[in-house]
Amino acid sequence: MSDPNMSVARPLRPYQGFEYYYGLKGAQSPIPGDQPIRLQPVNPVQINRLPSPPVDPYAFDGAARQLRTGYSPRLGAMLPMSAIGSMALVYLPQIPYVSEAIQGTTPFVYSFVPVWRMRTVTDWNADRKQGNMPLQRFGADDTTVGAAGSRYILPACRGAAIYMRPEPIVHPGAVDLPANLTHQIAYPEGIGMATGAYSSSWRPPIAPTALGGVGMFTQQGVVDAAVGSGDGAQPFFRPYWVKICGNELSFDVYKLEVPTDPTAIITYRDWDFQYDAATGYCDGTPGATGEDLPFSMVFGTGAATGIAPTLSGDHLWSGAYVFTGVA
């Protein structure tokens, strides 16, 4: 019998209240999709989002929160990794399609880009963080207003992008675009083009109940099972094995139009959360709802329970999941 050595799952989410900064309702210019949202380790404590703006200190690295010399107060938090060169398994969620009234008919994708960072071996003594930079040495000073100072060298790099988009409603005569634009991975297409009826990217197993013909749940607790006509109860995570390229990992999520021509210039799409500073939630009223509300439902606050119960969020352990090690 083998001795299991796979790590426990670590969720990655944006900092709490990110919707305020990316989509405050009617109070700021739209934030373009090339301004990414960072998926980071989770703050284990629910912060108070009122009064706005909410400030989640766990958006920043532990050394930044402690205001230690040599670290920028804006140094973002990232997830510690095991040995460089080993593998990590990442579950990335497929953002569910909720309705045309919310998400519209023009397709768009979310681009998940892995970001890696190296730490110094000195970081092990202070924070028990794996480090590959042999010495902690100052590099270029930071002159940013409000964040200026001497800074240790902590290099970072980006990985290949993984594209995902909400499954669209299928219209008669329309071209059924794949739900995932990604590398070397294929999933079943939606069906129902002849009738124009929406269907999921797969059909669930049938549960043996007196109701007859109902779907069997494979997933629970991540989002309301009613989302997307039952898609919330089915697996919308996609597993990806990635080679560990640094001591820490996060994901930057961009938003762009579905590319129809591989030679065309990328067109980014504005973030649209319609965050309501008076309630601390995204507006869940159909017709006045940001198209990124389902993204917020998985990664952030979602809608207030009294406005749109099936689109509520605030689940701190829902997000992208990362496993390292072997079994």
Q: What is residue 322's predicted lDDT score, i.e. its pLDDT?
A: 87
Reported as a single tens digit per residue, the pLDDT across 7-56 is 778 889 999 999 999 988 877 788 889 889 999 999 999 999 888 889 99
DSSP string, 161-216: -EEE-PPPPP-TT-----SEE-SS---PPP--TTTT----SS-PPBP-STT-SPBP
Task: pLDDT band for 160, please (50, 70, 90 cuts).
Answer: low
Q: Among 140-154, 209-223, 267-281, name the one with the lowest average pLDDT.
A: 209-223
Q: What is the token pair recorded at 218?
A: 């494979």
Distance CA 131, CA 140 (A): 20
- When comparing pLDDT for 287 and 219, which is higher? 219
Q: Supply the mean pLDDT for the chain.
A: 76
Domain locations in the chain as residue ranges: 1-164+238-327
Highest mean pLDDT (candidates 94-98, 156-160, 195-199, 242-246)? 242-246
In the predicted model, is pLDDT for residue 182 greater than 50?
A: no
What are the phi and psi torsion angles at 125 (to 5°)?
-65, -35
